[in-house]
Amino acid sequence: MKSFNDILSIVNASLEKLRWEKDPKGLYAPVEYTLGLGGKRIRPALTLMACNLFNVDLEPAIKPALGLEVFHNFTLLHDDIMDKADIRRGKPTVHKHWNENTAILSGDVMQILAYMLLSEAPQQHLKKVLDVFSKTAVEVCEGQQYDMEFESRDEVQPEEYLQMIRLKTAVLLGCALKIGAIIGGASEDDAHNLYEFGINMGLAFQLKDDLLDVYGDEATFGKKVGGDILCNKQTYLLIHAKGLAEGATKLKLQSWLTDVQTTPEMKIQGVTLIYNQLGVKKICEDAMTVHYEKAIAFLEKVSVIPFKKQELRKLAENLMFRND
């Protein structure tokens, strides 16, 4: 069994070997730039770890694993255009560094490059791998659509929010694990249980993200705390706060969401105070715990000895109890 760090080294070394230093530079330079920005590389790592549960040979899973990372980065690239985001991982986004047309077209080519890498899955598993991937890729687009729609809606139900983050974030983690399992030769049941482990881990992961944005420690979090509050992002916290607030608190929350006169610091402080009064931090933590425990339960069902699953369990723990 390989440790998470061993797996990550394989991912990084393999990703390093993929170069797109081709012409036209205007198309490929942004691809190199985007993939060079770093990131946790969680998705390809999950693919290799899942494969490793059933097989010592990881080689056949490497290219498909990288395909998932390329796909993930493609979605970030296009999402950044749609969200008009200027900064990604501390650097200018592609549409800022170059321009919007470049960002659209380089994203398009990345999606194809992702499929090229996925298509390197062993012949006997190819159709299954592609089916899982395409279904997931479509869902990720649906998630982004819902996310955008929510921003212009006044009221969003917590269940709708969970469904949105399931599509936008969780399914790709489930897919990464399932593809690794398939290539590793897992049974249908095991592949399914790993998929559900990923889904629930993904949900917990995103809820943790919502929490960190408000309650994170800026020094370790790596980005400014309160970003979601400043742009009125419909997070699990805000959605619940809107649903629970009554009377004066409701009016106060409403005024923080619409007041443009205030300073950023005051708004963050004010909204956080309301969150604390309404107890939405605990609601979010509880939901996170529910999904974290569901994830672990699915992992336990996977029919390999517990020792082999230690690394995945540790990874889930680390993601859940991380501070960044």
Minimum CB distance to a second copy, residue 304 (Å):
29
Alpha-carbon gap, residue 197 to 298, rounded angstroms: 5
Selected binder of a second copy within 137, 177, 212, 296 (CB under 8 A): 137
With respect to a second copy, which residue has the nearer C-beta, 59 or 149?
Answer: 149
Q: Is 182 in the site for a second copy (CB under 8 A)?
A: no
* Cβ(204)–Cβ(191) below 8 Å: no
Nearest C-alpha neighbor of 284 from the set 103, 172, 162:
162
DSSP letters for 253-306: HHHHHH--SS-HHHHHHHHHHHHHHHTHHHHHHHHHHHHHHHHHHHHHHSSS-H
Selected binder of a second copy within 44, 64, 67, 107 (CB under 8 A): 107
Alpha-carbon gap, residue 70 to 249, rounded angstroms: 44
Minimum CB distance to a second copy, residue 131 (Å):
7
With respect to a second copy, which residue has the nearer C-beta, 115 or 215?
Answer: 115
Selected binder of a second copy within 1, 27, 225, 290 (CB under 8 A): 27
Q: Is 125 in the site for a second copy (CB under 8 A)?
A: no
Q: Is 279 in the site for a second copy (CB under 8 A)?
A: no
Q: Is 24 in the site for a second copy (CB under 8 A)?
A: yes
Q: Is 13 in the site for a second copy (CB under 8 A)?
A: no
- Kindly tell me the burial class for residue 275, based on how many C-beta atoms sit within 10 Å of its own C-beta (0-12, 13-18, 19 or more): buried
Contacts to a second copy by CB under 8 A: 23-24, 26-27, 78, 81-82, 101, 104-105, 107-109, 111-113, 115-116, 119, 123, 126-127, 130-131, 134, 137-138, 141-142, 144-146, 148-149
